[in-house]
Structure 1
Amino acid sequence: MALGVTSLSLGLAFTLPGHIELIAVIFVTNLPLLFASTALAPLSFMPQWLQIIATLNPLSYAIETIRYLYIHSNWQFNNIVMHAFWGDVTFGGALLVLAGFALVSLIVIQPQLRRTLA
């Protein structure tokens, strides 16, 4: 999660004209991402429409994985960490989603990094 967010922040920093614009984008995106994740409430407590949004949010996968690690002493990749609306998400599946998010964000910022650093 940290690698994905860092790469997107770097891409925005090189794209936007100044620091104020970057701070504004970060503030505008952070709160909706936080509130539309499982950080503040479990998925089962959310209405159906918010459950769909929360399962599409990469932050939910990071939070549920960390929550699983704190609660359980037995860590296996096939253990279920989240019950999404489309099916169960395993520990390994959540890690794959987070790795995919980081990979996609790194690929997305490549052209901007090449232009800026060239």
Structure 2
Amino acid sequence: MISFKLQIILLIGAIISFFLVVNLIKVYKLELKYSMLWLIVMVIIILLSIFPKSFSFISNIMGIELPVNALYLLTISGVIVIMFSLTLEVSKSTIKIKELSQEIGLLKHDLEKLQKGIQKK
């Protein structure tokens, strides 16, 4: 089982992080679609810190001897999932920026052709 001190640290850290994410959403500095994964992770951490026996259950299922090691493994896995989702969003944004830049270039080219046509008349 995890120690009471670690349980309190997890609970306080998750609650502070939860309210920080909610506040960032309120002041429009963080989009809701990006924050949902963070909110889910914070709720899971809060639940696991309130019910520390669940760490023992999870570590037994995973075949890990110490519940703290299961916590570290789950934390690292969660960070990897968040990084992967953010990588997907960055890739989508990069593709969209490239397409928009090409579209602007074509529009500028068409505008220059129109301006040259007007100047010739």
Same-fold call, TM cutoff 0.5: no
| Higher CA-based Rg | 2
Higher fraction of strand: 1
TM-score of the aligned structures, taking structure 2 as reference length: 0.33
Higher fraction of helix: 2
TM-score of the aligned structures, taking structure 1 as reference length: 0.34
